[in-house]
Structure 1
């Protein structure tokens, strides 16, 4: 590949990563239109890598192209949200069970540390949500299975489409921290079944909050 090709590819990766981060932080939200020139200006990039990044987001089902409008961030329907959580539960039960077998005490310490940071960030919901994302990613990494991790990454990208965080409710944060604690306790006990059940209970609660938010 030529230096120009490598540069374009690198810029495209940077544009994609920046767009993902902007979506996670709430800078862009489901339903927003993503005009190439506006995104390029905001990210301080040329339109070519931005176009590449938008195409990749479309391939991943995060952005859809609408006639006469252009690229728009998708909104998930109630049915799609339920289906998404069904898959999360399948994957996260597996991750928790495998992490109980393969994870290290240092990794479990890191999970507890992130959980404490979520509680400390209760006055900054977006920060708490970002740490929560890191918590779940660390759980998958502790499972020591690259194919499981790849499947989780595809699901986690779609989570961006859920919209604003549910961490605006202080009670929600306390429940999250408590349920994360149930997961890490089971991991330390090396009880895979208990860890899997705790992970599922946590996601079922998360789904209930999501659906409740849609009905208000």
Structure 2
């Protein structure tokens, strides 16, 4: 059984179980459609079943775990329509975040985004996906809208269920790097409309890559 990496302590065992389950989704140790047994998950996490049971209830309430075929639970998996709906919302929300960032981001925040884009060219392949997540989180933060941030945080949870990153597709990481640069350039120029358009174009390209990946998988 593949073990899920440990995370720093400092929270309840149930909270640690919840976070480590999410990390399992990010790392690929847990995949959409995979059956989840309380006893096996407890063993994988190296915990007793009580905190794992509490984490499972939370994961169910957030839609990360769902009833599986034949009973029990499995990691939730999206159908084609749900993936489309997710990307429609992502395009709208991330476009809004970029527009607000162009209006409200401070100079140090813009410089941070510029450094993150500059760093992308030197990343090793195994670093690209995590750096991409950090870039998008930074973009959400510099929009300076707490309600938008909550909505994007919820959306990020849903993205965990999409499986392998599209950045592994040939040429996609390089294209995404250019798209990030376009977004940040518009933010730095205080071009709100341009930033929103660039962010929407980036998510549309990511959606197209996701569809291509699904088609290749059969």
TM-score by length of 2: 0.89
User: Could you report, residue by residue, the CA deviation over 1:161-199 in whole angstroms, capped at 9, with x for unpaired residues?
Assistant: 111111222410000000000000001001111000000
Aligned partner (choices 98, 108, 111) of residue 110 of structure 2: 108
- Contact (CA 8 Å) 1:36, 1:50: kept in 2 or not? yes
Name the residue aligned to 1:130: 130
Number of equivalent positions:
206
Q: Is the 8 A contact 1:119 1:173 kept in 2?
A: no
Structure 1 distance, partners of 2:173, 2:69, is 40
- 1:120 alignment partner in structure 2: 122
Q: Which moved more, 1:73-82 or 1:9-18?
A: 9-18
Are residues 27 and 114 of structure 1, via their aligned partners in 2, closer, same or farther at CA, if it must alter by over 3 Å?
Answer: farther
Structure 2: stretches of 5+ with no match in the other structure = 1-10
Pairwise CA RMSD: 1.5
User: d(CA) in 1 for partners of 2:71 and 2:142?
Assistant: 43
CA separation of 1:119 and 1:32: change in aligned 2, threshold 3 A? farther
Aligned residue among 91, 95, 102 for 1:93: 95
Q: Write the distance in 2 (CA, Å) between the matches of 1:57 and 1:113.
A: 35
Match of 2:213 in 1: 213
Hey, what does 1:5 align to over in structure 2? none
Within 5 Å, which residues of 2 pair with 1:5-154? 10-66=12-68, 68-124=70-126, 127-154=127-154
Q: 2-side partners of 1:166 and 1:67: how far apart?
A: 27
| Rounded Cα–Cα distance in structure 2 between residues aligned with 1:43 and 1:76 | 25
**Structure 2: how far apart are the matches of 1:38 and 1:190?**
51
Verify the 8 A CA contact 2:35 2:68 in the aligned structure 1: no
Gaps of 5+ in 1: 1-8
Distance 1:50 1:118 in 2: 37
Q: Are residue 200 (structure 1) and residue 200 (structure 2) matched?
A: yes
Alignment deviations for residues 48-75 of structure 1 (CA, whole Å, 9 cap, x no partner) = 1111111111111111023654220111
TM-score (norm 1): 0.90
Q: Distance in 2 between matches of 1:168 and 1:191?
A: 31
Which deviates more from structure 2 when the two are superposed, residues 54-63 or residues 107-116?
A: 107-116
Alpha-carbon distance in 2 for matches of 1:54, 1:117: 37
Cα displacement (A) at 1:151: 0.5
Question: Secondary structure in 2 aligned to 1:167?
Answer: helix
SS state at 2:67 partner: strand
